[in-house]
Amino acid sequence: MKTRTSCPYCGTGCGVTVERTADGRYTVSGDKARPANRGRLCSKGIALAETLSEDRRLLYPEIAGQRVSWYQAIDHVSRVLQETIDEHGYDSVAFYVSGQLLTEDYYVINKLVKGWFGTANIDASSHMGMASSIVAHHRAWGSDVVPGCYQDLESADLVVMVGSNLARCHPVIHQRILAEKQRRPELFLVVIDPRCTATADQADLHLSIQSDGDSLLFNGLLAYLADHDKLDKAYIEHHVSGLGDTLQAIADMSLQQLAERLGIGQQQLETFYRRFANTPATVTLYAQGVNQSESGSDKVSAIINCHLATGRIGKPGMGPFSLSGQANSMGEREVGGLTTMLAAHMEFSDPRHRDRAQRFWDSPRIASDPDSCALGLFKAITDGRIKAVWILGANPVDSLPDADSIRTALQSCPHVIVSEVAESTDTLACATVRLPALPWGEKDGTVTNSERCISRQRALRRPHGEARADWWAVSQVACRMGFRSGFNYASAADIFREHARLSGSCHGTSRSFDISACASLSDEDYQNLAPFYWPWRDGPAPEQAVRFFANGHYFTPDRKARMIPVNAARPGNRDLTKHYPLRLNSGRTRDQWQTMTRTGYSARLSGYPAEPFLAMHPHDAMSHGIRDADIVTMRSPHGAVLLRALLSEQQRPGQVFSSMHWTDEFASQARINSLIGSSVDPSSCQPAYKSQAVSLQRLDAASHGYAMLRHKPDTSLFADIEYWAMTPVTGGWQIEFASLQDSRELDTNLAMRLTKSMQPCCIEPLSCLDHAIGMRRMAVFEQDRLQFLLFTSESPVPVSRSWSAAQFEALWNERSTRWRLLAGRPGMDQSDTGTDACS
Ligand code: SF4
């Protein structure tokens, strides 16, 4: 049976076709009819079937670690919320959700919080990725709308990618651009990023500007366009205000001065400016590298200013284009699932909107003001003002800045309700109530991608265990609290129809989001709903994306776009000190997703890279006495992590890069966000994830180890070992170790603990000490099956990882052949398919 659904990871919104074979397995392929990907998938999308395992799932509700029925769980949660509200008021409860939820889930949660609790105590992980773009959209055109669509990338003659490693973070969009470049080599690609990324590698021009130099660069571009008579005066006259003030705010600088401040060559800078000035069909894509900054909103405004001043917006191949990070960050914004929004793109600041939402919901109250963002929300938990928090689909203990303080906040909170798919996450460890949620493949609803395309995410199979939809759990709690009139939903389709009705309830010119054509869909229509772009008010679904603003009609009172004067932040060495002399940039890698709760269990996705790494320029490595593959302690004023050094000429000297994926589930101490401070953009409250001042120190490890195990071990076995990192491989799990213990001590500890964790009656160990290189080797069997291999040494362990992993498939009934395993590599009569003799 075939099911057409949507990929749950990034904001590209790829369509996926899943087929269930006769033996119950699933195969995944790209949906050729989906406009976003036309059959393409990236490595994560291709490996989706590997994340459908029913192991490691949270399957039953639990209160204080004890399994309970859903009836008991709903009863408990509703009582806890009600008692907290009765004693401390509505502001004492909060919700934190993520861009992984479906629109129907968000809608119900947002309605409960804003309409029934009357607060804005809800925020989402999308705030961490997109808030600066939302602010800049609002102040430029009065509405949170992305004006263009993916087709523009293929119609453009110039694509500028700013703060976006598209090749790794939105791989299918990058593939589309590269395919067009191959067809039309004159398509010019510019990448603006301090790092030389995989995206920069394939660009015609890479501007490796100083961190946070974007506003200066785009302010300079606007001044250049004005000086060279490249502004679209007719468009500005009719549709734009604020040009004079914006130009006046730009510091007077020569190109040479500008290039020096940005840390790039003047010729490169001029090439970019000239190319932009002379190419009408220009799209500027931007993502987290722009948004996640203390000046993120201004950076986006500086980009938008250049497009408004040239009238390059809303026409084929033209426009500023904000890419959303998660599969449904946009859906979250549409229902108002952030603390700064009301619902359906309605505003707190407009009393007519508040009145409209309250009357539509027939709710007892309505939130009147935005509340603090996620960081403020967790601060309120620390201060004891919030006493009950419900977290759905998010892992804030790893994903929020100053992550250790988030963990401390949750540990001090009387009631922490967590709805989660996985049986174990760093956030779930803080929960007082655990509720089993539906994963991709079992959940059913809608998502919206970066280009405003709404599509269905469909269930492939029945829910496992007692897992339930988030909208169902929240509605049940709301009904038990006495709010049945507002939350008596029978299905996701019911919720979607109501969301569509609300979107059309204040027709007119003041809002962009409107999908009222879906208000009367039947259940069958909803089940078969084809991807469509909003707005869709009536008639058949638009055949292609509607672009906004080619002819003005902005959502501001005078219907004109507003250019925003931007005071360019000074790029360079801000915040660096003698104690913290380097700047940390963090981001995604190609094959992992967020905090690895799904992709971290796929062997195919876990080899690249297999350990938490720190990329640094060889000059920085040399000045810190660090060699390639050393273990490095990276510190900030907020915490410390241990990572494997990766020397790379592609890093800008003075800046280091690490991935944000690793958690305590997979490594000893690699939660990157524990280093990040809580500075935010003052307009958007979006944290500055990408510019933390840090220091480095080599770990003088006295011993190293490598183990391959059939089953994932309990990480408490390694509690006193400084560095470990584990990843799945076909047939088992591999773990790398480095320790201050001497190698004999490390070996004894590991051998004893790993052996003890097995059934002692059945195991047969085999070990030897290789005096020549001081390496200890051990293999342990249970009957005919290899259970684990362990190698320890004073220096990094030179064994073949891939060969070792392959031995778990074999039957080892011939005892005389078992000693071969201790070599840790194939004999002369076999070939080694792996390249990883040593990580
Ligand atoms: Fe999924 Fe994004 Fe990859 Fe598409 S590009 S398959 S949406 S992760």
List, for residues 208-231, the tens digit of each pLDDT value: 999 899 999 999 999 999 999 999
Is-contact 586 658, C-beta < 8 A?
A: yes
Query: What pLDDT is recorded for position 569?
Result: 67
Query: What pLDDT is recorded for position 831?
Result: 60
Which numbered atom of ligand 1 lies nearest the CA of 170?
A: 5
SS3 732: strand
Which numbered atom of ligand 1 lies nearest the CA of 171?
A: 5
Q: How many residues does the chain have?
A: 839
Query: What pLDDT is recorded for position 669?
Result: 94
Reading the block at residue 338, the tokens are 């952030």
Which numbered atom of ligand 1 lies nearest the CA of 12?
A: 7
Could you list the mean pLDDT of each consecutive 10-residue stretch along the chain, which spans 839 residues? Answer: 93 95 91 94 92 89 97 98 97 92 96 94 86 94 93 97 94 97 97 94 96 95 98 97 96 95 96 98 95 92 98 97 90 83 85 91 90 87 96 94 95 97 94 97 96 96 96 98 96 97 76 91 96 92 86 93 89 77 88 81 81 95 94 96 94 91 91 91 89 94 92 89 92 92 89 81 80 86 88 89 83 82 74 45
Q: How far away, in angstroms, is 482 Cα from ligand 1 center?
A: 41
Using CA positions, which residue lies closest to atom 2 of ligand 1? 10
Reading the block at residue 754, the tokens are 């790993």
Query: What pLDDT is recorded for position 234?
Result: 97
Pocket of ligand 1, beta carbon within 6 A: 7, 9-10, 12-14, 37, 41-42, 44-45, 170-172
What is the C-alpha to C-alpha distance for residues 296 and 683, in angstroms, rounded to an integer?
Answer: 9
pTM of the model: 0.92
User: 601: which DSSP letter?
Assistant: G
Is-contact 39 414, C-beta < 8 A?
A: no
Q: What is the pLDDT of residues 765-781, one digit of tens each?
A: 888 888 778 889 999 98
Query: What separation, in Å, do the N-terminal and C-terminal C-alpha atoms of the chain show?
Result: 42
Q: Is residue 2 classed exposed, middle or buried when 0-12, 13-18 and 19+ CB atoms within 10 A define those classes? A: exposed
Q: How far away, in angstroms, is 794 Cα from ligand 1 center?
A: 42
Reading the block at residue 687, the tokens are 């944290």
SS3 659: strand
Q: How far away, in angstroms, is 326 Cα from ligand 1 center?
A: 10
Q: How far away, in angstroms, is 41 Cα from ligand 1 center?
A: 6
Q: How far away, in angstroms, is 344 Cα from ligand 1 center?
A: 26
5, 6, 10, best to mutate for ligand 1 pocket (most atoms within 8 Å of CB): 10
6, 14, 451, best to mutate for ligand 1 pocket (most atoms within 8 Å of CB): 14
Is-contact 472 463, C-beta < 8 A?
A: no
Q: Which residue has the tokens 């403020």?
A: 376
- Nearest by Cα to 279 from 367, 340, 364, 188: 188
Which numbered atom of ligand 1 lies nearest the CA of 7?
A: 1
* 633: β partners: 642, 697
- Nearest by Cα to 400 from 182, 650, 594, 544: 594
- Does the bond joining 760 to the residue before it have cis omega, within 30 degrees of 0? no
Using CA positions, which residue lies closest to atom 4 of ligand 1? 14
What is the C-alpha to C-alpha distance for residues 239 and 186, in angstroms, rounded to an integer?
Answer: 31
Average pLDDT, the chain: 91
41, 169, 440, best to mutate for ligand 1 pocket (most atoms within 8 Å of CB): 41
Q: How far away, in angstroms, is 592 Cα from ligand 1 center?
A: 11
Question: Within 13 A of 55's CA, how many CA atoms are on the CB side?
Answer: 6
Which numbered atom of ligand 1 lies nearest the CA of 593?
A: 8
